[in-house]
């Protein structure tokens, strides 16, 4: 949601998911009815779990919205902003040379073929990624963990779940085993039905009528009316691409990191991949950065995808379904998911991130005693997401992150006036826009004294350099003897310039 807020579409995304009620709770039993009827009803609307803690991390609180609800919003926005969006179209192949990439497309309705030429290609073509296959990209990871059918269905269960809304419910019985996932906690549901090819079972064995029969058993409601919308086979699997950059072709999303959905990192990781890559492509195309900057995409994103995938897999059982039984494995799974579930619990290390000297105590004394700092390492260190604080800027209450996102930005402490002059000179010398903001009552943004400096791990004369993707590229904790030279060197490293 933080990235959607940056794009100016946060409200549209929330509106798309407005029909989904906030829910929490992971249960286990022999039928959904048996489990839910044992729970007391609660009055009043429910809030997003841990929303209070999340508010200290980001200016955008999470929301519940399904993929089929959000994709129309993204398509509309892409078209409004000049995107050429095509459906019912196959990519027959891609070829690249020293100047660009050519994709051959086929209109599946007319059979007509066409070619598109671009400087670069982002291949976000799913877990099966034909482009990854053509490039012979090796993958690592656990591989297939289980085989499931995603059964999307309508059934009016409001009288059962009202006031007892839930998120997930595992049902295990001799006839059927699977996981109910609530969509709107009223009449839209998904059931992940487990099947076992080693026992001769195939996805094609499960006709709509058979699925209805199994759903009624799993629901514990033999008379309920069920309208099945789709039955789609999928694998709970972990596969991580070992190389993301292939000259002018870049892999992203599920093509890079296939993972079970149980830590909520599939879409988050894919969106963050392109967020990391987009500004780098723009910088190279504008001539502001060397092509070496594009090499940092692999180095920065592969470790993040690997952690997300392994954590997602670690909370699954031998069938690839999330653990719901209250035992030690369940508790350990919750602890593993906690740091990454908001999408913030990672940092980058690459040649575009300036390493700082943290001796003699490893920088521990620089860190504020806050949730973002202690649990997510959002404390101003190079490679971390810039800290979020609510501030006043030009008479408006905004986040520190609202100052970022369009260019490189230098955020300085209350006595950081020398950095302002240095930034203007560096910007002019490199021919690159670099914005600068100083904290303090007479500065460019106002917040309680020392609050920003504490959050960023700097003194009142220090500064942090933030990339267009909101990650810190460099930090100087104190006033420099030559701020212009130091900042210019930091900018060159951040853009991989000689």
pLDDT at position 492 is: 98
Question: Would you tell me how many other CB atoms lie within 10 Å of the CB of residue 359?
Answer: 7
Residue 169 Cα distances to 158, 225, 307, 325, angstroms: 16, 20, 26, 10
List pLDDT tens digits, range 317-342. Answer: 889 898 876 667 666 766 666 667 77
Q: Which residue has the higher pLDDT, 372 or 356?
A: 356
DSSP secondary structure letter of residue 166: -
CA-based end-to-end distance of the chain: 36
List pLDDT tens digits, range 151-200. Answer: 999 999 999 998 888 989 999 999 999 999 998 889 999 999 999 999 99
With pLDDT > 90 as the criterion, what percentage of the chain qualifies? 74
Sheet holding 89-96, edge to edge: 89-96, 101-107, 113-118
pLDDT at position 89 is: 96
With pLDDT > 70 as the criterion, what percentage of the chain qualifies? 93
Closest Cα to residue 226, out of 151, 163, 150? 151
Structure-token pair, residue 157? 């269960």
Q: Answer whether the bond into residue 256 is a cis peptide, omega within 30°.
A: no
Average pLDDT over residues 131-151: 95
Average pLDDT over residues 252-271: 89
List pLDDT tens digits, range 273-287. Answer: 999 999 999 999 999
Closest Cα to residue 382, out of 412, 413, 354? 354
List pLDDT tens digits, range 38-58. Answer: 998 887 665 555 556 677 889
pLDDT at position 368 is: 77
pLDDT tier at 371, thresholds 50, 70, 90 = confident
Alpha-carbon gap, residue 276 to 134, rounded angstroms: 24
- Give the largest Cα separation in the chain, rounded: 79
Structure-token pair, residue 164? 């007892």
pLDDT at position 466 is: 98
Q: What is the rounded average pLDDT for all residues in the chain? A: 91
pLDDT at position 62 is: 82
Closest Cα to residue 59, out of 467, 339, 401, 469? 401
Average pLDDT over residues 205-210: 96
pLDDT at position 222 is: 94
List pLDDT tens digits, range 59-68. Answer: 998 888 888 8
List pLDDT tens digits, range 107-118. Answer: 999 999 999 999
pLDDT at position 52 is: 63
> Which residues, 6 or more positions from 415, have their beta carbon under 8 angstroms from its beta carbon?
440, 460, 461, 479
Spatial contact of 219 and 31, defined as CB atoms under 8 Å apart: yes
Average pLDDT over residues 117-124: 97
Spatial contact of 418 and 484, defined as CB atoms under 8 Å apart: no
Closest Cα to residue 300, out of 277, 324, 267? 277
| Strands 249-251 and 121-123, bridge-based pairing | parallel
Angle formed at CA 128 by CA 126 and CA 134, multiple of 5 degrees: 105
| Strands 188-195 and 89-96, bridge-based pairing | unpaired
- The alpha carbon of residue 166 and the mean position of all alpha carbons in its chain are separated, in whole angstroms, by 23
pLDDT at position 369 is: 72
């Amino acid at each position: 949601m933080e990235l959607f807020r940056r794009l100016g579409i946060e409200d549209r995304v929330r509106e798309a998911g407005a029909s989904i009620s906030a829910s929490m709770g992971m249960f286990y039993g022999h039928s959904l009815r048996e489990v839910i009827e044992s729970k007391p009803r609660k009055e009043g609307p429910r809030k997003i779990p841990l929303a209070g803690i999340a508010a200290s991390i980001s200016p955008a609180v999470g929301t519940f919205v399904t993929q089929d609800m959000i994709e129309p919003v993204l398509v509309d926005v892409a078209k409004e902003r000049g995107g050429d969006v095509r459906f019912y179209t196959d990519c027959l192949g891609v070829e690249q040379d020293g100047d660009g990439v050519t994709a051959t497309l086929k209109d599946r309705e007319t059979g007509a073929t066409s070619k598109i030429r671009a400087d670069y290609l982002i291949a976000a073509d799913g877990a099966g990624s034909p482009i990854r296959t053509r490039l012979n990209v090796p993958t690592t990871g656990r591989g297939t963990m289980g085989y499931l059918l995603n059964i999307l269905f309508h059934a009016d269960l409001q009288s059962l779940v009202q006031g007892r809304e839930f998120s997930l419910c595992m049902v295990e019985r001799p006839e059927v085993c699977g996981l109910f996932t609530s969509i709107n906690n009223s009449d839209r549901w998904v059931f992940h039905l487990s099947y076992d090819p080693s026992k001769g079972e195939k996805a094609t064995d499960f006709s709509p009528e058979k699925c209805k029969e199994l759903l009624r058993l799993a629901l514990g409601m033999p008379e309920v009316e069920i309208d099945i919308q789709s039955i789609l086979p999928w694998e709970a699997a972990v596969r991580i691409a070992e190389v993301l950059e292939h000259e002018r072709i870049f892999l992203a999303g599920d093509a890079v990191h296939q993972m079970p959905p149980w830590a909520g990192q599939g879409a988050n990781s894919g969106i963050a991949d392109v967020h990391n890559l987009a500004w780098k492509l723009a910088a190279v195309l504008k001539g502001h950065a060397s092509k070496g900057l594009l090499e940092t995409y692999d180095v920065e994103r592969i470790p993040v995808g690997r952690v997300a995938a392994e954590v997602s897999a670690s909370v699954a059982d031998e069938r690839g379904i999330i653990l719901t039984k209250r035992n030690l494995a369940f508790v350990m799974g919750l602890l593993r998911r906690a740091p990454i579930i908001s999408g913030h619990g990672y940092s980058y290390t690459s040649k575009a991130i300036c390493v700082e000297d943290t001796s003699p105590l490893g920088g521990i004394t620089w860190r504020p005693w806050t949730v973002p700092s202690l649990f997510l390492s959002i404390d101003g260190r190079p490679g971390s997401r810039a800290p979020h604080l609510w501030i006043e800027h030009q008479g408006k209450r905004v986040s520190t992150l609202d100052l970022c996102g369009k260019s490189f930005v230098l955020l300085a402490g209350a006595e950081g006036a020398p950095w302002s002059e240095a930034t203007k000179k560096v910007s002019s010398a490199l021919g690159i826009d670099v914005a600068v903001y100083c904290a303090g009552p007479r500065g460019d943004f106002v917040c309680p004294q020392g609050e920003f400096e504490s959050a960023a791990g700097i003194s009142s004369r220090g500064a942090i350099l933030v990339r267009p993707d909101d990650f810190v590229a460099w930090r100087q904790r104190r006033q420099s003897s030559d701020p212009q030279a130091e900042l210019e060197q930091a900018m060159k490293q951040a853009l991989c310039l000689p």
